[in-house]
Copies of this chain bind each other. A is one copy, B any other.
Amino acid sequence: MDKPKAHKTALHEKEGIAQPESVSLDAIEHVTKLRKIQPTAQELVNGILKGDKTALSRAITLVESTNPAHLEKANDVINQCLPYADKSLRIGITGVPGVGKSTFIEAFGKHLTSLGRKVAVLAVDPSSSLSHGSILGDKTRMEELVKDENAYIRPSASGDTLGGVARKTREAIILCEACGFDTIVIETVGVGQSETAVHSMVDFFLLLKISGAGDELQGIKRGIMEMADLIVINKADGDNIKRARLAKTEFNRALHLFPAKNSGWQPTVTTCSAVTHDGIPEVWKTINDYFDLTKANNYFNFHRSEQNSYWLTETINEQLKSNFYSRKDIADLLEQNKKAVQNSEISPFTAASILLEKYFSK
């Protein structure tokens, strides 16, 4: 600690005796040393492959790191884990706030672990960097599941862009699989395009709903119905049972309006109660039917391979755009041209040529 300075005022105090250090220097040295001993990539991989949840968490933290220095190590861990990944069932779950996602995932997850499965729960929530984790942030929401040794719950990765959050989640899936988790549940609250991102990283997509005031289908986000492999109407208990059944009929009718899926699967609707656990085993049975079908007709493998190609192209395209739009001179010129285009002073295509010429000339 610095000595107090001498003051030339009436409030001057005598210097007094030297104060003892409030923190032991030995202790500081010890902690600093510990912090520096980051596990190597190899150590993390070994831990993950042994099923060590601490190693898994550290590796996911590494993957989520925005420090460019960590990128190479993270890629190394991922690529070493890849041969052991790809063996789980990946299930996406979405639903608006209030639909009971956490309670459902807890009941569903406990059912799976009771059958001997190992369940990892991840979340995609691009809003969490603002709201500081609006989903899964509070692990106590899944009190039982979090204590289950065959379950692993990881709050949403934060990030500025959906692309960044999605990449981190997708890599976390690989790590969880290498760690021995055979069922990965990806939760999303459906902000922006996050459902599309989750849909492109899972095998099965579950839409959670509750029965409402009759006009069930109004207010469903564009495209979500078409993505769903299963619609589960939650809170089908007590006074709600009748309404839930009516909602089931209405959703079933609506599902038949959509074109057949490439998977050969006809989406279905079921009701459940995450509180009484009624219907939870049936949800799992339906998901199993889906996997039986798509593994038999080889859609499962085809789809995963397509998803890998998609993420390769998607990442490249995002980076190409990011490189263009983040350049200061381009951003200024774009601003200027956007105005001219909106005022019909030049055509969008001429404006694009001007911008691209500038970009590629440098």
Contacts and interface: CB of A to CB of B under 8 A. Distances in A.
Contact of A349 (B258, B305, B311, B320): B311
Give the copy number.
Answer: 2
A298 interface: no
A346 B338 CA distance: 40
A116 interface: no
Interface stretch (A52-60, A186-194, A219-227): A219-227
A356 B316 contact: yes
B353 A75 contact: yes
A346 B316 contact: no
Contacts of A319: 352, 356
B257 A341 contact: no
A312 B79 contact: no
A218 interface: yes
Interface stretch (A10-18, A80-88, A120-128): A80-88
A305 B259 contact: no
Main secondary structure of the interface of A (DSSP, over half): helix
Contacts of A324: 316, 320
Contact of A171 (B71, B347, B353): B347
Nearest to A220: B259
B312 A337 contact: yes
Nearest to A323: B360
Interface string A31-45: 000000000000000
A317 interface: yes
Q: Which of A219, A254, A308, A338 has the most CB of B within 10 A?
A: A308
Interface string A300-313: 00000100110110
Q: How large is the interface on A (under 10, 10 to 19, 20 to 34, 35 or more residues)?
A: 35 or more
A71 B352 CA distance: 13
A184 interface: no
A75 B349 contact: yes
A345 interface: yes
B75 A348 contact: no
Contacts of A167: 349
A66 interface: no
B341 A221 contact: no
A303 to B, nearest CB: 12
Interface in A306-362: 308-309, 311-312, 315-317, 319-321, 323-324, 337-338, 341-342, 344-353, 355-356, 360
Minimum-distance CB pairs A-B, first 7: A315-B352, A311-B348, A312-B348, A320-B320, A217-B257, A305-B342, A308-B341
Given A82-B346, A219-B259, A316-B356, 16 more contacts: A75-B349, A83-B344, A171-B347, A217-B257, A218-B259, A220-B259, A223-B223, A254-B257, A305-B342, A309-B338, A309-B342, A309-B348, A312-B348, A312-B351, A315-B352, A317-B321
9 contacts: A78-B349, A78-B350, A86-B344, A171-B347, A221-B259, A222-B258, A257-B257, A312-B351, A319-B356
Interface of A: 71, 75, 78-79, 82-83, 85-86, 167, 170-171, 174, 217-223, 226, 254, 257-259, 305, 308-309, 311-312, 315-317, 319-321, 323-324, 337-338, 341-342, 344-353, 355-356, 360
